[in-house]
Amino acid sequence: MFPKINEVLYIQIASADEKEEHKEYKSRIADTDDDSFLIEVPMQQGNSRLKRLFFGEELSISYMNESGVRHYFNTYVTGFEEDVVRLVRIRKPLPDEISKIQRRSFLRVHASLELAVQCDDLTRAVVLTEDIGGGGLSIYIEPDVKVQEEQKLKCWLLVPYRNGSIDHVQFEAEVVRIKKLESGRELGMLKFSQITDSERQKVIKFCFERQLDYRMK
């Protein structure tokens, strides 16, 4: 059922950028343990460019078994190892999470969180998120907030946890797309451009807790 050492993996990366999300990368399993696969740094199909992955980044992976049947699973980056070459550690799925059908449901959750943003001209505003994940988030853009595609924003996110504690997550993000909703409002899709592993981990922790809440309902 599980892919084996030296097996080739085909990877797509969760991104608010639709062009990026449709790119396919290829990697190989270098090692495995009870909880993880260690894979080589992925290489883009067609041009052989290496793809740098970040902690918490969400991946959709496929591979062919010995019978030639393609299997799929979703996972995320849990760390890195420095061997002869740099290796990426990804979460090993549970057996029932491996499917013959592609399911692009990444670890992205709907959440209305307060996000303070600072634009290039140093103007600041507070907006609400629509969803959030380990690679980025979507925000509602109010008429008085001047945001455009490819713009860089400094951000401070208020993250509440189940135990009642609240964290502040600081990062920089790039606006990759602005979408007009049927309601007339605009939705800005942002990807993290600069975020520390510790700050990204706070976001992932919130997403896991929110997913757990959904499953318990």
- CA neighbor of 136 nearest in space, from 89, 174, 170, 186: 174
Q: pTM of the predicted model, to two decimals? A: 0.60
Q: Residue-wise over 119-130: b if at least 16 C-beta within 10 A, else e?
A: beeeeebebebb
User: According to the CATH classification, is domain 108-216 in 2.40.10.220?
Assistant: yes
Q: Report whether 30 contacts 39 (CB < 8 A).
A: yes
Q: Which helix (H) or strand (E) holds 82?
A: strand 70-82
Of the two residues 217 and 152, the one the predictor is more confident about is 152
Structure tokens at 161: 């946890």
Does this chain's domain 7-91 share its CATH topology with 108-216?
Answer: yes
pLDDT at residue 133 is higher than 70: yes
The string of pLDDT tens digits covering residues 15-28 is 656 667 678 999 99
- pLDDT above 70: residue 214: no
Q: 106: pLDDT confidence band, cut at 50, 70 and 90? A: low
Whole-number pLDDT of residue 83:
78
Domain ranges, ordered by start, for the chain: 7-91, 108-216
% of the chain with per-residue pLDDT over 90: 37
**pLDDT given for residue 196 in this prediction:** 84
Over residues 158-173, the mean pLDDT reads 93
48-58 per-position pLDDT tens digit: 889 988 877 88
Q: Is 110 left (phi over 0), alpha (psi -120 to 50) or beta?
A: beta
Tell me how far apart the alpha carbons of residues 99 and 95 are, in angstroms, rounded to a whole number: 9
On the question of pLDDT at 105 being above 60, the answer is no
The residue written with tokens 């993880």 in the block is 36
CA gap 12, 44 in Å, rounded: 10
pLDDT greater than 80 at residue 139? yes
Its CATH class, for the domain covering 7-91, is mainly beta
Tokens found for residue 110: 């709907």
Per-residue pLDDT tens for 62-76? 998 877 889 998 888
